[in-house]
Chains A and B, each alone.
Chain A
Amino acid sequence: MTLVHDPFNIIIAGVGGQGNILSSGLISRAFCEEGYMVSVGETYGATQRGGSVISHIRLSRKKSYGPLIPLGQCHVIVGFEPLEVYRILRDYGHDTVRVITNDRPFYPLDVLQKRSKYPGVDPLISSIEVLARDLEIVKGTDLAKKAGNPKAQNVVMVGAFCGLNWVPLPKERFLKAIEETFSGTRLEINKWAFELGYESVMGH
């Protein structure tokens, strides 16, 4: 399958500790198996704890691109937190950017310490709606709780990303990547989390 844009650029936007790296691993692994050239760039380390974290995923049929997406060139944002989505969208969003996000806020320390104010989920979502060509909200944390662990929201979001079919790829590719990543109870929880995310966007 050819890509609408080549390279096709995906950003996962969240907060340190939300499982960015794991989900970028699942997505990139799934596309790699399908024969795409995939490059991933991410940041991690202790200084990311509680900080903004983004993973860049670049898909191509032609060649391996560098690990960072240029500004204004991101085609899909998979978001774990609305403030982080809006932050990334403003700088990296392409003319035709589409967004899928968990709308549960994760308050920065600065907000809890009342040094600054969280803009509020509703104003954030309505601004995202203006900028994005499509916006899909997923109750990622609630669905993850249902699957057995609220931390599995990252895999719920991967499931929803797969279900939306914005970049067509068979579901089995993702399930295989999940099976190769987890084992035991965690495998069961994450498979269920993926399914719940997938189903939540069916018919959308």
Chain B
Amino acid sequence: MLSGNEAAARGALEAGVQWVASYPGSPSVQILECLAAVARERGIYAEWSINEKVALEVATAASFAGMRALCVMKADGLNVAMDFLTTLPLSGTKGGLVIVVSDDPGAHSSIKEEDTRYLAPPAHVPLLEPTSPQETKDMLVWAYGVSEKVGLPIIVRLVTRICHARGVVELGAIRPGEGLPIPTLQETFITAARFHPDAHQRLDLIQDLFVASPFNLYTGPEKPELSIFVSGVSYGYALEAIERLGVEERVGIFKIATVWPLPEELAIENLKRSDQILFLEEIEPFLEDQIKALAAQNWDGVGPLTFMGKRSGDVPWVVKSRGMGEMDPDIATRALASTLNIDFQSGSARLKEKMDHLPEMDLPLRFPNLCAGCPHRASYWAIKTALAMDGRGVFTLGDIGCYTLGVLPSGYETLRTVHSMGSGVGLASGFGKLKGMGLEQPTLAVIGDSTLYHAGIPPLINAKNTGSEYLCIILDNETTAMTGHQPHPGSGLTAIGERATPVPLAELIRSLDIPLTIRDPYQVQETIETILDLLKKGDLQVLLLRRECALKRSEEELTPRVYVDQERCLGDACGCSRFCSRVFSCPANIWDEDACKARIDEVLCIGCGVCAALCPEGAIVVESERRENDVSS
């Protein structure tokens, strides 16, 4: 059994990939990690690059040298790499170059649902989309051949429900190390507008390969009543919808794996089967629009057609917890049922009836929360307190990382903006100049360490250069925490765990001649005073709040036992409004309903002791002796 991410890594091995570069982004983080795990044994170079643009440049270098290279990023990262990507079809590539881009329909671990397919046409880069982990593996192997035949990079679009799905995958042979190309640099690779026709010619070349692709597939009756045009993981939902409704004799299904450019001849052939077309796809109606345009161009051959999809409203946008772009088996089945006039209800009728007789219960939602002992919580507490004391309405800007949770109750709703990697610092660079126009509120930007390396340095230089005034707080947990503790340039480690030359943030900031203060966020009082002081000073200031990620700490260290002395805790009589559990709200600070006193959930507590320092009654005790990660309560 392999996940889609593992299957992608396996496909790269079977294709003889020797070079891989990535910046970590959910849901595709594990692809590079899988390859890094076998890098030494297989002679592969694996790199966590500083950002996606550099990752693509590093990967492309290997392609120019004739080797097969893989680059991996999430959808948002492709925007960063886009400037470089748009040049490649003009200069052409040599060794097979595949870019796996993971979209996150439903935004399970993203701040937005971006549809990568729309970036393929302006870049002149072909895009494929697999329907399962098995097809992900097979498609990667095939994509390398296509890339080399036409001299273009190929994007393979994965989605969360492929990356994080697991399924049975039949493996092929791994291409052995001997016989793989030795890098040489013979050609020139120049981008110039006069090569624009070359990009189009390369795309024309791909038509025959796409039409003949083993991955585009029609199944169903020769002349169905309705055809489903589908791409990606929605294919499985469509098959299940047909099975559940028992309409195998009425409905055909055309799976389009080579999504852009469309395999035109094949698509036209399938448009002729039925005059009713239903589109099932994730995020935006990209396929729907592409097919409609193709049908319009070929109207005399395909005849009048009815198109049903998101544009027509036949496939509704369903707003779920975090987004509205994710397809699921019920949306697919309901859409198919309604277009065929079949009565269909999701869910168990029996359970629904029983539920009518149950007492009403409000089920509290679970907003994502900073982990127990997270240094960001201590930092946000210090920021919140300092801002209240400062009293000038400091405007606080956020960025991308675990600490984005600063927009939610977990981070005391401290952040007023959140956009893209490094944008908090960039916006601050602008706000910090608005003082000249009469803005009296000071500006404060928070950014994580990995994000600062990724996209925060140029805006800091910009601010220094333009004389912009703000306080930049770096929440440095010494890792790329959000995606699972990947190293960054400050870590001194490579992707395969070897020693690298660290580029420490503090040195970097000092070299820009920006005043730098370093504090430990667990020392909350000292941090509050420092923030107040720096805000008063004005000018451009950097405060580095450094403390290792609590998850890393809980894995590695023996932690002190922290408990509430319930003799000293005054409960609701204290007047602290249940400070530890309700206000500070670390998940390890819970309320003991029986004793009506505070308690520590020792399963969760990592022993940071921050709550002990903040408790007004001093009722929380940190035991000095260290304990193993077990519990005696």
Q: Does A165 count as interface, using CB distance less than 8 angstroms?
A: no
Q: Residue of A at shortest CB range from B581?
A: A112
B233 in the interface (beta carbon within 8 A): yes
Cβ A109 vs Cβ B108 within 8 A: no
Contacts of B409 in A (CB 8 A): 109-110, 113, 115
Contact across chains for A40 and B165 when beta carbons are under 8 A apart: yes
Q: Tell me the bound Cα distance from A129 to B165 in angstroms.
A: 31
Asked whether, in the complex, the Cβ of A39 is within 8 Å of the Cβ of B164, the reply is no
The size of the chain A interface, using a CB distance under 8 A, is: 66
Q: Do residues A87 and B164 form an inter-chain contact, with CB atoms below 8 A?
A: no
User: Which residue in B26, B239, B589, B631 is a CB contact (below 8 Å) of A112?
Assistant: B589
Is the CB of B575 closer than 8 A to any CB of chain A?
A: no
Given contacts A67-B161, A71-B346, A145-B630, contact A43 B167 (CB under 8 A): no
Chain B residue with minimal CB distance to A50? B369
A17-B371, A64-B132, A110-B367 known; A70 vs B333 contact (CB < 8 Å): yes
Is B371 in contact with A67, judged by CB distance below 8 angstroms?
no
Q: Given A64-B132, A107-B590, decide whether A38 and B1 contact each other with a Cβ distance below 8 A.
A: yes
> Which of B215-223, B269-277, B353-361, B512-520 interfaces with chain A?
B353-361
With A51-B367, A71-B346, A95-B351 known to touch, is A45 a contact of B168 (CB < 8 Å)? no
The answer, yes or no, to whether B348 is at the interface (CB within 8 Å) is yes
Chain A residues, CB < 8 A from B581? 112
Name the contact of B108 in the complex, choosing from A15, A47, A93 (C-beta under 8 A): A47
Assuming the A-B contacts A95-B348, A108-B367, are A150 and B603 also in contact, with contact meaning beta carbons closer than 8 angstroms in the complex?
Answer: yes
Q: Which residue from chain A places its CB closest to the CB of B632 in the assembled complex? A: A145
Which residue from A40, A47, A49, A89 sits with its C-beta under 8 Å from B166?
Answer: A40
Number of B residues, CB within 8 Å of A? 69
**Residue among A49, A87, A95, A107 making CB contact with B363, cutoff 8 Å:** A87
Tell me the B359-381 residues at the A interface (CB within 8 Å).
359, 361-371
Q: For the complex, what is the distance from the CA of A40 to the CA of B161, rounded to whole Å? A: 9
A86 in contact with B363 (CB, 8 Å) = yes
Which stretch of B84-92, B322-330, B558-566 is in the interface? B322-330
In the complex formed, the residue of A with least CB distance to B27 is: A45
A151 CB to nearest B CB, Å: 7
Specify the chain A residue showing the minimal Cβ separation from B134.
Answer: A64
In the complex the two chains form, is B483's CB within 8 Å of A46's CB? Answer: yes
Q: Taking the nearest CB of chain A, how far is it from the CB of B350, in angstroms? A: 4
Q: How far is the CB of A11 from chain B (nearest CB, A)?
A: 13
Contact status B348-A72, CB under 8 Å = yes
Q: Determine the distance from Cα of A127 to Cα of B355 in the docked complex, in whole angstroms.
A: 9
B237 at the interface (CB under 8 A from A): yes
Question: Does B213 count as interface, using CB distance less than 8 angstroms?
Answer: no
Q: What is the 8 Å Cβ interface bit string for chain B, positions 204-227, against chain A (1 contact, 0 not)?
A: 000000000000000000000000
Q: CB within 8 A of B582: which of A64, A87, A91, A114?
A: A114
Give which listed residue, B328, B363, B587, contacts A109 with CB less than 8 A. Answer: B587
In the complex formed, the residue of A with least CB distance to B633 is A145
Question: How far apart are A91's CB and chain B's nearest CB, in angstroms?
Answer: 7
Docked complex Cα distance between A68 and B233 (Å): 10
CB within 8 Å of B: which of A55-102? 64-72, 83, 86-87, 89-91, 93-95, 97
**Interface membership of B136, Cβ < 8 A:** no
On whether the beta carbons of A148 and B630 are closer than 8 Å, the reply is yes
Min distance, Cβ B25 to any Cβ of chain A, angstroms: 10
Asked if A190 is at the interface of the complex by the 8 Å CB criterion, the answer is no
State which residues 93-137 of A face B: CB under 8 Å. Answer: 93-95, 97, 107-119, 123-124, 127, 130-131
Q: B615 interface residue, CB < 8 Å from A?
A: no
Task: Report yes or no: B603 in contact with A151, Cβ–Cβ below 8 A.
Answer: yes
A67 CA to B233 CA, complexed, in Å: 8
Q: Which residues of B contact A29 (CB under 8 A)?
A: 1
Q: Which residues of chain A have C-beta atoms less than 8 A from B371's C-beta?
A: 17, 49-50
Task: Give the complex CA separation of A46 and B24 in angstroms.
Answer: 13
Interface residue? B244 (CB, 8 A): yes
Query: Which chain A residues border B357 with CB–CB below 8 Å?
Result: 130
Question: Judging by beta carbons under 8 Å apart, are A108 and B365 in contact?
Answer: yes
B109 on interface, CB distance cutoff 8 Å: yes
Closest to A141 in B: B603
Residues of B within 8 A of A151 (CB): 603, 629
Residues from chain B with Cβ under 8 Å of A182 in the complex: none
Chain A residues with CB under 8 Å of B494's CB are none
Take A46-B368, A49-B371 as given contacts and tell me if A28 and B1 are in contact as well, using a CB distance cutoff of 8 Å. Answer: yes
B236 at the interface (CB under 8 A from A): yes
The interface of chain B, by Cβ under 8 A from chain A, is 1, 26-27, 108-109, 132, 134, 160-161, 164-168, 233, 235-237, 239-240, 244, 322, 328-330, 333, 346-351, 354-355, 357-359, 361-371, 401-402, 409-410, 481-483, 578, 581-583, 585, 587, 589-591, 602-603, 629-631
Known pairs A47-B108, A66-B240, A131-B354. 4 more at Cβ < 8 A?
Answer: A52-B365, A70-B333, A109-B366, A141-B603
What are the 10 A-B residue pairs with the smallest beta carbon separation, nearest first? A45-B109, A66-B236, A50-B369, A67-B165, A72-B347, A72-B348, A40-B166, A116-B364, A46-B482, A45-B26
Query: Which residues of A does B touch, CB under 8 Å?
Result: 15-17, 25, 28-29, 32, 37-52, 64-72, 83, 86-87, 89-91, 93-95, 97, 107-119, 123-124, 127, 130-131, 141, 145, 148-151
